[in-house]
Each structure stands twice: as C-alpha cells, then as structure tokens.
Amino acid sequence: MPNAPKSFFWYELMTTDLDAAEAFYTEVVGWRPEPFEKSPGMPRYIVVNAGDRGVGGLMTLPEDAAKMGMPPAWVGYIYTRDIEASVASLTKAGGAVHRAPDDIPGVGRFAVVADPQGAGFMFLQPNGPDQPPVPLGTPGHIGWHELFATDWQKAFDFYSGQFGWAKGDPFDMGPMGIYQLFTAGAEPIGGMMNKPEQMSVPAWLFYFNVPAIDAAAKRVTDRGGKVVMGPMEVPSGQWIVQCQDPQGAYFAMVAPGR
C-alpha cells in the first residue's frame, strides 16, 4: 500500500505514575498489560493489548518533558516508511520538530513533531513487517481521532497535504462551529474542530472503544478519574464520554450504546 493514506497506528501515554496508570486503564478499558522487554536499557514500558494485538504503550513522562511543563498526556504515532522524508516534508509545511529522528532499539525510528498550530504527535518508522489494520470499531482499539485546532480548515489542509486525508461530512454544531469529519481510506476515522476558548493549546484526543458508555464512565470515576463531558449521543448513534485520568491525562471513550 505505497500510496495509501497514512494515519495513526500506535498510541502512548506519558504519565507521572506508571503503576497507577497501568491499574487504571486495565480496569477502565479492559486492556491486558505486559512489560515490553525487547529494548534493553530503555526506560520501563508497558504494552497494552486488546486480545492478542498491541494497541499502545504506557511510560513515565520523560524528565526533560516534565521540566518543560508537559502534563501527562496521550500521544499518537503516525506511520511512515521514511521518517527523514516525513520530517522534512512536515518542516517545509510549517510544522515543528521537537525531537529529531532517533532509534528505538528493536522497534524502529521515531520523531516528536507538531503541526503548524502546535498539536503534537509522533512519527514512527517501524522495523519488521506491517501489521494489517484493524476495523475502527474493534473492542479495546481506538475508535476515533479528534483534533482541536485554532483553525481547523488550515489544519485539515496540512494533514491532507502530508498524509492524504480527505474530507468526510461536516456537522454544524451551532455556536461551537463546524465539526469536519476526515477519512484516511474509505471510512471516516476522526473529526476536526476549532478548540473551545478554555482549551489552552491545540491537541489530539483519542477515543477508546468500550462496550457500553455508562458503565465505562462509572469505572473512570470509581477509580479516581474525572468525566469532563458526557455521556452524550453523537450523530453516528454511538455514545461518547470525555475523561481525565487520575494523573491528569485526557482521553475519551466511544461505545455502540449506553
């Protein structure tokens, strides 16, 4: 699939309390955690699995990032076959490189970058064969990607130019503006909107698939997290909830029903 649109394919939590985060997400999302031991000498890393497939990883927030004021956060990795070319293209289009391409032993090459409006993400050029993509609604996987931008139209132009994403349907949310669906292939995989004023910086938000939203929201609050929005029904007929984990990282969940 040399010319297929590129998208997110790995997700990572950087947190201030790795043990607490592992326990929280295991209970809330239902992931199966396992330590990643293929990179000797690297900081402790916990892979979270849905079934027999890894979905993402949990790690301690690096000291230099914490000193720069980065809060605990989920970040997404966008696939690339040539990380140097991807970083050069992003830079030319006005994006920022926070960490130049570097090796993760036994995994691949990664870079820490941001779009021109400041929303951060990572590139990963993995070693080894590609894994087949999973359907968007697969339990325990990521079911939606949401970008809060300062100008979603310019943001869309950037991501479309870099990764081949296309526009899906727009939804008019009244005073909150337009919510623009985007596709990376046949189906919409996410949406973009202008961020609310109370949100300090543009950012990506990732939605984890769960079976039922009310029970999932209760698991969040029972285990020390917060529900910041929802549960609410969205135009697709699904239900969503936006949350903050006990260490402060934002995440969301999506379910086929309440």
DSSP 195: P
3-state helix, strand, coil split of the chain in percent (to 5) is 20, 45, 35
- Tell whether pTM > 0.85: yes
pLDDT at 68 over 90: no
Digit-coded pLDDT (tens) for 7-65: 999 999 999 999 999 999 999 999 999 999 876 777 899 999 999 899 999 999 999 88
Digit-coded pLDDT (tens) for 150-173: 999 999 999 999 999 999 999 999
Burial classification of residue 151, based on how many CB atoms lie within 10 Å of its CB (0-12 exposed, 13-18 middle, 19 or more buried): middle
Please state, in angstroms and rounded to a whole number, the distance separating the CA atoms of residues 170 and 77.
25
User: Phi and psi of 173, rounded to 5°?
Assistant: -100, 20
H or E element that contains 55:
strand 53-60
Q: What is the DSSP string of 130-148?
A: PPPPPPTT-TTSEEEEEEE
The mean pLDDT value of the chain amounts to: 94
Digit-coded pLDDT (tens) for 180-207: 999 998 889 999 999 998 888 999 999 9
Contact present, 61 and 70 (Cβ < 8 Å) = yes
